[in-house]
Chain A
Amino acid sequence: MITKIKEKWLAAGKSLVFLAALMPLGKLAWLASHQGLGANPIEKITHTTGYWTLSFLLLTLTATPLRALSGWLWPVRWRRMLGLFAFFYACLHFLTYLVLDQFFDWTAIVKDIAKRPYITVGFAAFVMLTPLAATSTNNMVRRLGGRRWKLLHRLVYLIGILGVVHFWWLVKKDITEPAQFAGVLTLLLGFRVVQAVRKRLVR
């Protein structure tokens, strides 16, 4: 009985998080339809979708430490959804660049990716994120096998680093925001390093 009630709360919580995760997009759409995106709407959309891609990446990476520290199971049960939202906002971010910013100017895009280090790392992170999203189903976990799946999904650590570097390198001068993301990421990855070292020592 108690577990059943708990399950119900967990499912309701997950639905709420799902709706909350759509709010940044909803706000953008509302602003867009009310001429609220300012003088440079494309820049605003690019920055907003990029910001939320990084935020959801960091939220996804918070699940494991949170479980370890609290013993709760729910963070890990929401992890896949959060990760997919990171991919969702990354797609919007990339599409904004492709369609709104460059309007399919492929020569300019290829040049950008090759020549501009911040675009190179951002694009690399996006490319790496794709197989993680594609293998996020239970079926794919089974087909790959737990060990291999886990190994593949460790790519998210590198993706997080590249994402923050992408942000750091693109700002003109004020690095406050990328530095905040870098700080949180350092904590999240540092936690894993400490745990791995401990495990080794115990053995």
Chain B
Amino acid sequence: MSNWKTPAVLSSEITPQEVYLRRREFMRISAWAALGATLPGSLFAGEKLSGVVRTPYQLSDPLTPLEDITHYNNYYEFGTDKESPGKTAGSLKTRPWTVAVEGEVHKPKVWDIETLLKLAPLEERVYRLRCVEAWSMVIPWVGFPLAELIKRAEPTGNAKFVEFTTLNDPQQMPGVGSPVLDWPYREGLRLDEAMHPLTLLAVGLYGEVLPNQNGAPIRLVVPWKYGFKSAKSIVRIRLLEQMPQTSWMKAGPSEYGFYSNVNPEVDHPRWSQAKERRIGDFFKRPTLLFNGYAPQVAQLYAGMDLQKFF
């Protein structure tokens, strides 16, 4: 009999070999991170955003890889096919950048992007994104609720709607030379939709500065509506008394309504919205009412005929 005893080390405390073998890489990354922390505020896509708070807005669905999120984009200002924005959006200059908040507000203001980045704590929120073309992704956005910005503008009693305008600069955006949409790109929400806690102004994804092709430096994310409602590279937010006309409503009034809530029961006139293909999946999955956010947003549309107000 041996009197040698197994040392009392928990197996969880043992460094896995593959981590041990990567110790030099760890040192290298740490060194870069330390250097990065000494630099002034983030500017470029791919740079880590600091001070991002994790929130309960998480999903059990696996995240869509960054590669797919950044190379399969509908951003017509940079071309109508999905590969173009990833190739050409590098020409977009995201600094200096301002966002004008105006219209039916007591305190109109032109915000500098650097100030906006510090307006509220940056939160990571994982949202489903459902495109009107029947594909979907799961994206870890970084941003803050749009309500934070609108509150500071103090909407007047007349304010009922919010209009978002995307930059329209032919110098930086090769696609706006084509008359495929009525530029600048305009989108809109009802004020209560805009103030909803789910409605986000995103400045990053995967913990990093938002890539240009995804709408840098600041974009809207409304997860229960089709993707085109979430305007990119916003330069103006205007509060209005009347419902604004949006670029897609103008392009196809029978196909794209003001609300454009994700709804498997209301087909696009030319294709079904009952199912969607999650990017990376082979089989299609059923589309959920309000993209699965019905518990949070259904009350906004209580009593409304969703077939009529599509």
Q: Which residues of chain A have a CB within 8 Å of any CB of chain B?
A: 38-40, 42-43, 100, 103, 108, 111-112, 115-118, 169-170, 172-174, 176
Give B contacts to A, CB under 8 Å.
67-68, 71-72, 76, 80, 82-83, 132-133, 135, 178, 180-181, 251-252, 270-272, 275, 277, 279-280, 282-284
Known contacts A103-B283, A111-B272, A118-B270; decide if A39 and B72 are in contact (CB<8 Å).
Answer: yes
Q: Would you call B71 and A173 a contact (CB within 8 A)?
A: no
Cβ–Cβ contact B270 & A40, under 8 A: no
Q: Give the residues in chain B near A108, CB-CB below 8 Å.
A: 272, 275
| Minimum CB–CB distance for B182 against chain A, Å | 11
Chain B at the A interface: mostly helix, strand, loop or mixed?
A: loop
5 A-B contacts, Cβ less than 8 Å apart? A103-B283, A173-B80, A173-B180, A174-B80, A174-B178
Given A111-B272, A173-B252 in contact, is the A38-B181 Cβ separation under 8 Å?
Answer: no
B72 touching A40 by the CB < 8 A rule? yes
- A40 x B272 contact (CB < 8 A): no
Known contacts A38-B82, A40-B277, A42-B277; decide if A112 and B272 are in contact (CB<8 Å).
yes
Contact B180–A170 (Cβ < 8 Å): no
Bound state CA distance, A108 and B286, in angstroms?
12
B272 adjacent to A39 (CB under 8 Å): no
- Contact A39 to B181, CB < 8 A, known contacts A116-B270, A172-B133, A173-B252: no
Q: Which 7 A-B pairs have the closest CB atoms?
A: A39-B72, A174-B80, A39-B68, A39-B279, A174-B180, A173-B180, A173-B251
**Are A169 and B71 also in contact (CB < 8 A) when A38-B83, A40-B279 are?**
no
Closest residue on chain B to residue A111 by CB atoms: B272
Q: B135–A40 contact, CB under 8 A?
A: yes
Closest A-chain residue to B68, C-beta based? Answer: A39
Measured between beta carbons, the chain B residues less than 8 angstroms from A115 are 272
- State in angstroms the CA–CA spacing of A112 and B83 once bound together: 28
Alpha-carbon distance A39/B82, docked complex (angstroms) = 10
* A118 to B135 Cα, complex, angstroms: 19
CA distance A100 to B284 in the complex (A): 10
Contacts of A42 in B (CB 8 A): 277, 282
In the complex, A174→B78 CA distance in Å? Answer: 13
In the docked arrangement, what's the CA distance between A169 and B68, Å? 27
Residue of B nearest to A42 (CB): B277
Beyond the given pairs A108-B275, A174-B80, A174-B180, 11 more chain A to chain B contacts, judged by CB atoms under 8 angstroms and listed by A's residue number, are: A39-B68, A39-B82, A40-B135, A42-B277, A42-B282, A111-B272, A116-B271, A117-B270, A169-B270, A170-B270, A174-B76
**CA–CA, A111 to B284, complex, Å?**
16
Residues of A within 8 A of B133 (CB): 172
Q: How far is the CB of A87 from chain B (nearest CB, A)?
A: 26
Residues on A with C-beta less than 8 A from B270 are 116-118, 169-170
Docked pose: A42 CA to B284 CA in angstroms: 11
The smallest C-beta distance from A122 to any residue of chain B, in angstroms, reads 12
Name the distance in Å between B168's Cβ and chain A's nearest Cβ: 17
Rounded to whole Å, the gap between the CB of A175 and the closest CB of chain B is 9
Contacts of A176 in B (CB 8 A): 80
Residue of chain B at shortest CB distance from A100: B282
Distance to closest chain A CB from B109 (angstroms): 34
The docked-state distance in angstroms from the alpha carbon of A116 to that of B268 is 10
Q: How far is the CA of A176 from the CA of B282 in the complex (A)?
A: 30
Give the docked Cα–Cα distance between A40 and B181 (Å): 24
- Please tell me if the beta carbons of A38 and B135 are within 8 angstroms of each other in the complex: no
Would you give the shortest CB distance from A169 to chain B, in whole angstroms?
7
Closest CB in chain A relative to B67 CB, distance in Å: 8
**Given the complex of chains A and B, what is the CA–CA distance between A198 and B276 in angstroms?**
53
Query: In whole angstroms, how far apart are the Cα atoms of A173 and B76 in the complex?
Result: 10
> Nearest residue in A to B65 (C-beta to C-beta)?
A39
Contact residues in A for B80 (Cβ distance below 8 Å):
173-174, 176
Closest beta carbon of chain B to A174's beta carbon, Å: 4
Query: Given the complex, which residues of B lie within 8 Å of A43, measured CB to CB?
Result: 135
Nearest CB of A to B131, in Å? 10
Chain B: CB-nearest residue to A102: B284
Residues in B with CB closer than 8 Å to A170 are 270
Identify the closest chain B residue to A105 (Cβ). Answer: B284
Q: How far is the CA of A43 from the CA of B131 in the complex (A)?
A: 14
* B76 contacts across to A, CB distance below 8 A: 173-174
* Complex-state Cα separation, A111 to B280, whole angstroms: 26
Residues of B within 8 A of A169 (CB): 270
Q: Assess whether B82 is in contact with A173, with CB atoms less than 8 Å apart.
A: no
Is the beta-carbon distance between B135 and A173 smaller than 8 angstroms? Answer: no
Q: Smallest CB–CB gap between A117 and chain B, Å? A: 7
A109→B72 CA distance, assembly (Å):
26
**B252 nearest CB neighbor, chain A only:** A173
Q: Please, how many angstroms separate the alpha-carbon atoms of A108 and B270 in the complex?
A: 14
In the bound complex, residues from chain A placing their C-beta under 8 Å from that of B271 are 116
Most buried by B among A108, A169, A172: A172
